Amino acid sequence: MPERILIVDDHEENIYLLRALLEGNGYGVESAFDGSEALKKARQAPPDMIVTDILMPVMDGYTLCREWKSDDLLKHIPLIFYTATYTKPKDEEFALSLGADRFVIKPQEPHILMKVFREVLDRKRSLEQAGARPLGEEMEFFRQYNEILFEKLEKKISDLETANKQLSLLEEKYRLSFENVTDVIYMIDTDLNILNMSPSVEKILGYKPEELIGRPVFDLKHIFLPESYEKAVSDTERILAGQSIPTAIYRFLSKDGAVKYGDISGSPVMHEGRITSMIAVARDITDRKQAEEASRESGRMFRTLVEHSFDSTIIINLEGTILFANNSAARTIQAGDSHPLVGRNVMEFVAPESREDVLNDFQELAKGHDSYLAEYSLITEKGERIRMESVGKRIVYEGNTAVLASMRDITERMRAAKEKE
């Protein structure tokens, strides 16, 4: 019977690629979309090895590894991290400290990946019995876990701030470029031949004007991406027929093979009441499009990191007003979703006996301290009292100093510890 490997990843395409590789090498494959689902499947039918991503909803890879290596049924089964998001030495050190057998960064060549899998399976061995983790070790895991998460969140926030500034600068840059006629200006006659082309085309696409002038539009298919070529021909024919068309964005291939974006507008040239040609202005907007995509990607990654976080995450200004709250925070406070929390003061939920501690920690951050680790008592919307571990870090959010706080409900853990005393 072939060895069975459990793949854990929240992206179907990643599971598909690993499944194809493993099954092609004679292994049986099971899959799960998050750590919680993986634990359930593994406890029902333990695999021979597990390969897991780290950034996932519901339960991430770090938490999965911690649970896996604490489970008597599963702890002897090798666990490999395969990640594209957590790639720093600190991330790998933390993963190995949790008991992971290997830490591999995506993407990886198939033959190298299979070599790693075979090595781990070949030296599979029994691990010593692991007892319950003491409270101090729990706190250390929480501290390191959140330190790594905060680093990711801070970078994404910084990326968003930088991207927004770049967009503002680029808008001004393109305005000045237009005023100084650095755009490409060209004319096309009614037979769809290029009549002239401004010298600026060489700077943008790498072609000298003489390489393009006199040639029919149909000969220039190689400088367009397919969908843009069809649109360019159609729009040119419509303008030469006297129709008005809106400004459009096309994608080009420069002489060196780079993809360029052009914002093009055109209009017919009239002589004695008839159309003799068309004139068009093409503006290079490649930097702007790339900056917009970078901003969107940073936003998506920031949202994924926060919303899929196992812990409650909030951003608060130094006056205590909640600026952002993820879904986990809303569930903890029993607010239904994150929106009712934003705009409210965090002190509304702090129990009286913890308010002085919270104020002191905020004051220390305001004075320049970088972070804190503390425990507070909170009161939910339904009046329930809960005990929380909180890690807070001073950050810059939307241009102002704020606190990024991650909290974990330890009410049950504290109750269990007290019962054992």
Is 284 in the same domain as 321? Answer: no
The answer to whether position 389 is within a domain reads yes
| Coil, strand or helix at 18 | helix
- 187 & 263 share domain: yes
Q: Nearest 5°: CA angle at 387, between 157 and 348?
A: 65
Helices 135-179, 89-97: inter-axial angle, 10-degree rounding: 160
412 CB-near residues (< 8 Å, 6+ apart): none
- Whether 146 maps to a domain, the answer reads no
pLDDT by residue for the chain (421 residues), tens only, comes to 789 999 999 999 999 999 999 999 999 999 999 999 999 999 999 999 999 999 888 888 988 998 998 898 998 999 999 998 888 888 898 889 888 999 999 988 999 999 999 999 887 754 443 343 443 455 555 566 666 666 666 666 667 677 677 766 666 664 454 344 578 888 899 998 999 888 888 888 999 889 999 999 888 888 888 888 888 888 888 888 888 778 888 898 888 888 899 888 888 888 888 999 998 888 888 888 877 776 666 556 666 656 666 678 888 998 889 888 888 888 888 776 555 788 889 898 889 999 999 888 888 888 888 888 888 989 888 888 899 888 888 888 888 888 888 888 888 888 877 777 6
Q: Are residues 264 and 323 in the same domain?
A: no
270: domain CATH number? 3.30.450.20
In this structure, what CATH number is given to the domain that contains residue 9?
3.40.50.2300
In this structure, is residue 139 part of a structural domain?
A: no
Q: Is 283 a domain residue?
A: yes
Last residue of a domain, one of 233, 261, 289: 289
Q: Which amino acid is at 82?
A: Y
Sign of torsion over alpha carbons 126, 132, 137, 139: positive
| Residues spanned by the domain of 332 | 309-420
Q: Which two tokens stand for residue 418?
A: 């007290």
9 and 52 Cβ atoms separated by less than 8 Å? yes
pTM: 0.44
Which residues lie closer than 8 Å to 164 by C-beta, 6 or more apart? 295
- Answer positive or negative: Cα dihedral of 100, 105, 107, 109: negative
Q: What angle do CA 153, 161, 359 make, to 5 degrees?
A: 60
Backbone angles phi and psi of 378, in degrees to 5: -120, 160
From 87, 104, 125, give the residue that closes a domain. 125
Residues 90 and 165: their CA atoms lie apart, in Å, by 30
Q: Is residue 173 part of a domain?
A: no
